[in-house]
Amino acid sequence: MIAGRSNPASSICSNETSRAASSPIAGSHTQFMELLQELLTEELKDLLHAEGQLVKALPKMAKAAKDADLRTAFEDHLEQTKGHVERLKQVFEMLDEKPKAKPCKGMAGLVEEGAEVITDGKQMEEAPADLALIGAAQRVEHYEIAAYGTARAIAEQMNRRDIVKLLSQTLAEEEKADELLTKLAQPLLAEAGQGTEEEELEEEEV
């Protein structure tokens, strides 16, 4: 994930190095804190766009899910995701920064893949179609877990416990969503396996 997108740390650090060389307050604590805030704000802008895309994508995933529990899981996570957007806005406010989204290409790619899975699933049996949907959704959750983990680590470094607390709440919900998807995949995997065995038996009988 980090390798796949522009790294704010490297660009900010290089700017900082050239600035530091001519600045009388080079390496000061204030300067370091400003750098961290800049880094965190970049992460939050990326996340705000990512979560916004998910608010639009999750209803489509819920509609595509054939299994009732999976559909409910997507619907529940949609509500949580709306809360994630609100929490991010709160964090922007705490930092005295504008809640401005920055196009998140990573999430755009994952959402596009999810849309392909939904289209392909229309021609598939129910269990494999749902399993493919779970695979796409778990990629999304892992992306979010990585991004919130990074943002929280920066906030910890800034000693902003108020922000760490909010980001931890979202991170915990992303992790739970991921765990639930793993759990929901289990009976579907068994069902898909059964379907294959039945097909093999039919082939043998012919």
Positions touching Fe ion (CB under 5 A) are 81, 84, 144, 174
Minimum gap (Å) between residue 77 Cβ and Fe ion: 6
Give the shortest CB-56-to-Fe ion separation in angstroms: 13
Rounded least distance, CB 112 to Fe ion, Å: 17
Alpha carbon distance 146, 200 (integer Å): 41
41 versus 148: smaller Cβ distance to Fe ion: 148
Give yes or no for a contact between 174 and 66, defined as CB atoms under 8 angstroms apart: no
16 vs 51, beta carbon nearer Fe ion: 51
Place of tokens 């700017």: 15
| Comparison of 67 and 144: residue with beta carbon closer to Fe ion | 144
Token couple for 173: 């919900």
Cα–Cα dist 36/94, whole Å: 14
Q: Are 128 and 192 in contact (CB under 8 A)?
A: yes
Shortest Cβ 118–Fe ion spacing (Å): 17
Which is nearer to Fe ion, 99 or 195 (by Cβ)?
99
